[in-house]
Structure 1
């Protein structure tokens, strides 16, 4: 007989052979696992994901796909030594290993056993036995011995089982052929190796009996029975018991007649008797004071009631501490009595622990819970899953899988029966779990949170301090775990007031310390998820903790890590999947925005301070500040038609891609307003970190928004924060820039004297630094202060100096603004032609550079020129057009001024009723904008109109209020005009 020697050997240690000469084992480790996996699926495509699972089980590294590709490349090189370098081909979604007939020992084994089976059916048992002997000779030990891959070991176990089955068949043939003496020793050795295989034990009994060793045959039976009873609590199967009876009685059917050897039906292992029915009741206790979630519970009950053709699966997903586990158990208890009388299985899968439970381990637990002895539980996960599905088939059982890490951890644990239902909880979203309905578990609403607090501590304590209760609920963000901890601490300390608990929680630095009671800890719950993240995701979470509790765009994460936008987006989505971040919106570019739950932000901030070095924290914050600076600066340039009328520092910029910026800043003022809270927050953060250059630069850049939308309080707050930072750093230029900008704010508030005092130090610093643009801006503001104080003689030369400064600095928009202001003095001095020339020059500049903001101011002064020239209809038309422009641009300061000026024109046109309506509209706008000086000017004008309409009493009242405001704000010129108007009205 010619021995078959295949090229690829898996029936024993894995190696490749060239003809009869062995050329050595495949290098151990990953190459061996990859080759084994490909050979077990020879001539079929094996996905890269399958290879990754085979190598790393449930914990692949981020570079797994690349490492598999390297392994395959190395294998190809090794196989080239036997002229099979092209055996492995790339085929989506992985690889295919081409194996010809006779090249793989497992294929040869399967072919020989199939041929032997055909020979048995054809009545040639001797030839069949020869083929089986040849097939068994291919084995050199346990299949794929030496491999560490769980996936390969499971397949190898099935191959080993096939070998035993063929071996038993071969022994049957040998015994039927009368060769009992030749095989008795071999069978005895096999029984020693596999003492629970009843078929082998029966074959040994028969071989001994036929060899004249009846007592030994009966001793083999008794030893086997004792083993089965001790190990499994079971009696031997019926076939083995019948064989014992036949041996005791000397049944002639057991002998073999030489002239016609009968084919004796040999004892085969009978299926193990079904274990006594066990009803597992593994659900933890329900929470007695469970409150809220009524709609979610009702929806889950509806989805989980058995019916249809498939297992009902509901996945409850949500952030740490949201109450998923308690909710799952509560729902389960609502279901079991009516729908699942055959039992409930429960397991904490430990998805957030360092080493989550494997599906094989959980299946082993479930099988034991259903009465299967440990010795009968298969080793492989696939076989355990088959046994599990068989046991629960047609039973009405509920399975609760708590804290799942991912879909693949759950997949093997799903029953195959429509009579069963499954509840899964996870911090991952599990959207890939087939057939599962995912229910998002959110934080409690205020009423639910209040009910929980009242249930635990008593409604009378909540009723006694309703404001403190509301504040406590808000402080923990309605997070159930945190709220339950607060309630438990209050319940344990009846002397504590809710206000005292609130005081203890108010300090952010101690809040997570306070949110602990017994074994309940918010920090520990968050740490479980955090520890399960990959290194890059953990670092991003920490760095995000440096930001305030506001929503942020994707580019912020890219800046923190200094990576590209897509790389940051992938990490953010991992944090969303882990429920450590929330996706809250999609911005104008179509990219997501994210935010923290406040307690998760505090945890991230703790980790930041504990793990990241101070230099790393500052560098990350500097990049984020640089990103906001770059975008705010670009937004200003788009509003002003270029980088005009603004000062900048030398803080580094971090720039997203230009295409992204173009989409983001399609409407720059809309973007500035949408990011208003973030921009102000970054000023505060950079001030706290001592990043003085970035701080003052960003604060000044935000004036574009503050001025256009009248965010005067934010203007003052950000500038004071930045001022403290630059003074601490000795940053003279930054201080001068901020003082100059604060002077603009004081002018907006009609506090010209305060503005003038601020500008003195700024001017001196800019002169010392020879800062041309800084000087131009400071002189412009100083001239405006003089102008507002009615001192045109001082204002005019300073304006002209500012105009020359803007020309030297190459700032045409600055020139246009000053030209418009000088033209106003010309108008007040009666120099109408000179004013017209300056205004039209300014208008040309604005239109050339696309600066609509200054253009509005120039057109406003042109309407004044028209009115002074008696061209009231033209002025009316110009102002009406201008009103549409300022309203479209949401310029409420401009709207108030245009309404006021239009009212004056209406009076000149003989329409005081229209003038009154316009002035009242202007007053409403100015009061809404908190423009107290402007509101006083409008009241004074309205008083004059009302006096002309005969309402002298209301006119006197309005003028009295206006004069008071003018006096408070040192608006002496306006106060004098109002007093004169009041005297005229009083004297008739």
Structure 2
């Protein structure tokens, strides 16, 4: 690959680089590349190297240069690229080998696409072309002849960039482009086209005053520098902004253009497109008429959301039909995403609408900190996000209308598929479709799809009899067919004879649930003793998916033995293989009806003591794995409390694979771990219950799963109080106080900590006291009571030292250092922060390290070391982005803006604050957005824009009042009063 769009560079595909010495060789190669595939005369090369004063040996020296270049190119498999052609040389370059050629090709293709009415793809190609540039063309060359041609390339780049910006502005990306165009105007202040684009972007973003200021600044610059007024186009644009000309509005039909940029800070992320549909069934057969009718009903249109409810008896195939319909619809009608949730209507504890709304909001990119507590507020946010989007929502296994109502979008561009055993006739606007048993032909097709058409064709009478005996019920038919598929030597007649032995049960196949139980009993009876026992014990678990080690724990056997037994159950269609976990091993799940059947068998054939012993092993496995995950995140078993419930540990090699990325594992297992807390609470396993709930805070806090945090702790709190478990209750209250602090409810946290502190003191629990005191000090600190917080922090610090908890010490040191900074004692703060940083790095605790580094940047700024602070924050920005910490990203951007302002770069500071504001608004972090608006208002006021500053502060004060952020509201009101007073 030859590169001239930037410093001259030569490389080959395997990554070898041809090093061209600077000076004459680079000039000669550059001249040949700029005329690639054309003969370049020696005289031209001489002029390029020496301009108008060549030496007498110039021709010879050029020949030497060419010879040396051939050797250099040979190192990258281009030894024959340069050939001698009178009156000089020719450098052969294949398609795609020279970046300048690729740039020209992409821009030409983009021009054609734009001309044919495809501006979106055109803009994407232009951005791809611009991505080839690594700096000014042939940067570093000293040849005047090459510099002239390089200047032409640079001018082409700017023209292409301006064209790309025009296309993207036409697509409605004005808010995202403001920062980029502003930076370009600063680099090229006399380019009127760029200045006009910035004016349009600002005007469409609701910033009319700033757009006019950009014009006035440009006009003054042109008059001062050139003695000229702006061109006619720019003058017309100013007039249009002043009059609010409708022609400046965003074109209504313009398709969105997504442009990826590498600059820091990056613009706010593009909206997330959720793709949650399960896989379609590869051998789905039948129901052609029902499918066609449902598709017509679900195609978006009209004034209301299209809702189709698929209802029918258990095992009828409603879920499979819903997923199949969804896959048929999404590509043509719902490009903005698909949301899916199993509502668990047949489980003991169905999902609540609030839970499902929380999941959907997360799937659409909203972080946990921004998700409201109340169900109606979540529903409002959900409807706002899906408004005018073309999305499909699939709600599987609904219990009743009230479970579904809040999950319906309010937009006619969306459609909803619901499945349920209930008829859901009270669901407004829903078209209810009854899902009946298969007809004979459809059932025959299903049987043939599973066992092969040749076997059905060989015994048509037996196939007909089998279908009749199972009543054409899809679940029962699939189970019988699976047994035949697993046993190729069996004839259909032999299977028919086996079923005939159970005539009474099969006669009941036409009578609701009994038919399913009978079919399942046939398969269950054919299992070996150990497989049957595993099936029974698995019935004690909830209906979520589970990994292989759970089966090993239930039976207390090796992992491979448990896997073999699970696969037998899969072969018998008693379990489903639903996914592959992070270790590459399978995950399994019951069909809900089979799970109910397994529970019946458990109650009939398993002693209660044996059942509880097996459950304790599984719970012990979750405790062991969650505790190990916490230790890997925190660098050890730090800042957490544990009980004495027994652990069950899988093999070390399996655990290492499973927890290679502990947070990824915790997030993947979150539903199952939360279900385990609920299970232990229901079973009265209070010690395991509180221990698991508290350990899971590692995940809940890192990923802002505040609803799960509260739910699991409330369940555990009921369990420990019923058992009189005082230490467990204190640990849960202490952890719930941390949750209240995460919600900025410091007074509520303080109220919870009183009883926890008393219990830990009575028990002499050193670590528990340290954790409770840390939280109490943090509550005082958040309330502005630094004189109360400082001594409690120091007491907690001593407690963590006594408990041998260095990470706990590091966290407290960072908090005390913040008080030191607020008190003006920078030296003491620095000592504490660097001590905390050393601890974090020694034990590998990145979470606390991020907090320490953030405070160190504050220290640097306070000490006037703004350049160091800028560098530290830039590194930290990469860390929080890599960790998907959106709230942390906004905070770092905010702090970086303050540092940029101190460095005398208000333009960069404003761009950073606007990016931070956009991130927080997209995340619906209203409190954080208000803080950013207040900071931005101060910056704008300092630059003389009092009108916009007053507006921003007014909005911020309103938000502070709504969210009871009294200290922030007071500061903002004082700033507003000062600005109004001049």
TM-score of the superposition, structure 1-length normalised? Answer: 0.50
1:756 is matched with 750
Contact 2:456 2:463 in 1 (8 A): no
Partner Cα distance (2:652, 2:830) in 1: 41
Partner Cα distance (2:939, 2:633) in 1: 37
* Alignment of structure 1 residues 759-770 onto 2, 5 Å: 759-770=753-764
1:912 is matched with 906
Contact 1:635 1:672 in 2 (8 A): yes
1:806 is aligned to 2:811: no
1:558 is matched with 552
1:411 is matched with 489
1:527 is matched with 521
Contact 2:622 2:673 in 1 (8 A): yes
Partner Cα distance (1:739, 1:342) in 2: 69
CA spacing shift, 1:834–1:580, aligned 2, 3 Å: same
Partner Cα distance (2:569, 2:870) in 1: 58
1:329 is aligned to 2:407: no
1:713 is aligned to 2:707: yes
Partner Cα distance (1:340, 1:866) in 2: 79
CA positional deviation for 1:629: 1.0
| Partner SS state of residue 577, structure 2 | strand
| Partner SS state of residue 744, structure 2 | coil
Contact 1:325 1:425 in 2 (8 A): no
Question: Among 939, 961, 968, which residue is 2:933 paired with?
Answer: 939
2:915 is matched with 921
1:691 is matched with 685
* Alignment of structure 1 residues 478-493 onto 2, 5 Å: none
CA spacing shift, 1:405–1:706, aligned 2, 3 Å: closer
Contact 1:753 1:970 in 2 (8 A): no
Contact 2:484 2:495 in 1 (8 A): no
Question: Among 851, 863, 866, which residue is 1:857 paired with?
Answer: 851
Partner Cα distance (2:454, 2:660) in 1: 59
Contact 2:444 2:467 in 1 (8 A): no
* Alignment of structure 1 residues 385-534 onto 2, 5 Å: 403=481, 405=483, 410-411=488-489, 413=491, 517=511, 521-534=515-528
1:602 is aligned to 2:717: no
Partner Cα distance (1:631, 1:341) in 2: 52
1:624 is matched with 618
Partner Cα distance (2:447, 2:601) in 1: 36
CA positional deviation for 1:667: 0.9
CA spacing shift, 1:603–1:830, aligned 2, 3 Å: same
Question: Among 832, 836, 839, which residue is 2:830 paired with?
Answer: 836
Partner Cα distance (1:545, 1:766) in 2: 39
1:899 is aligned to 2:893: yes
CA positional deviation for 1:713: 1.5
Partner Cα distance (1:658, 1:322) in 2: 49
2:381 is matched with none
CA positional deviation for 1:873: 1.1
User: Residue by residue, what CA displacement relative to the aligned partner does 1:755-780 show, whole Å, maximum 9, x if unpaired?
Assistant: 11111111111111110000001111
Partner Cα distance (2:859, 2:497) in 1: 71
Contact 1:686 1:695 in 2 (8 A): yes
CA positional deviation for 1:525: 2.4
1:636 is matched with 630
CA spacing shift, 1:292–1:427, aligned 2, 3 Å: farther
Higher relative contact order (CA 8 A, sep 6+): 2
Contact 1:526 1:603 in 2 (8 A): yes
Partner Cα distance (1:590, 1:982) in 2: 58
1:780 is matched with 774
CA positional deviation for 1:936: 3.5
Partner Cα distance (1:522, 1:409) in 2: 22
TM-score of the superposition, structure 2-length normalised? Answer: 0.51
CA spacing shift, 1:797–1:585, aligned 2, 3 Å: same
CA positional deviation for 1:951: 5.1
| Partner SS state of residue 462, structure 2 | strand
| Partner SS state of residue 521, structure 1 | helix
Partner Cα distance (1:342, 1:700) in 2: 61
2:462 is matched with 346
Partner Cα distance (1:629, 1:352) in 2: 49
CA spacing shift, 1:407–1:851, aligned 2, 3 Å: closer
1:877 is aligned to 2:955: no
Contact 1:404 1:410 in 2 (8 A): no
Specify every segment of 5 or more residues in structure 1 that has no aligned partner in the other structure, as ranges: 1-285, 298-320, 354-399, 415-421, 429-484, 486-512
Question: Among 659, 682, 689, which residue is 2:653 paired with?
Answer: 659
CA spacing shift, 1:869–1:287, aligned 2, 3 Å: closer
Contact 1:427 1:578 in 2 (8 A): no
| Partner SS state of residue 593, structure 1 | strand
Partner Cα distance (1:809, 1:885) in 2: 30
Question: Among 615, 619, 640, which residue is 1:646 paired with?
Answer: 640
CA spacing shift, 1:531–1:924, aligned 2, 3 Å: farther
User: Residue by residue, what CA displacement relative to the aligned partner does 1:695-747 show, whole Å, maximum 9, x if unpaired?
Assistant: 11111111111111111111111111111111111111111111111111111
Contact 1:324 1:425 in 2 (8 A): no
CA spacing shift, 1:763–1:518, aligned 2, 3 Å: closer
Partner Cα distance (1:942, 1:328) in 2: 67
Contact 1:796 1:822 in 2 (8 A): yes
Which structure has the greater CA radius of gyration?
Answer: 1
| Partner SS state of residue 767, structure 2 | helix
Contact 2:482 2:572 in 1 (8 A): no
Q: CA RMSD in A?
A: 4.1
Contact 1:427 1:579 in 2 (8 A): no
CA spacing shift, 1:729–1:910, aligned 2, 3 Å: same
2:543 is matched with 549
Question: Among 597, 601, 608, which residue is 1:614 paired with?
Answer: 608
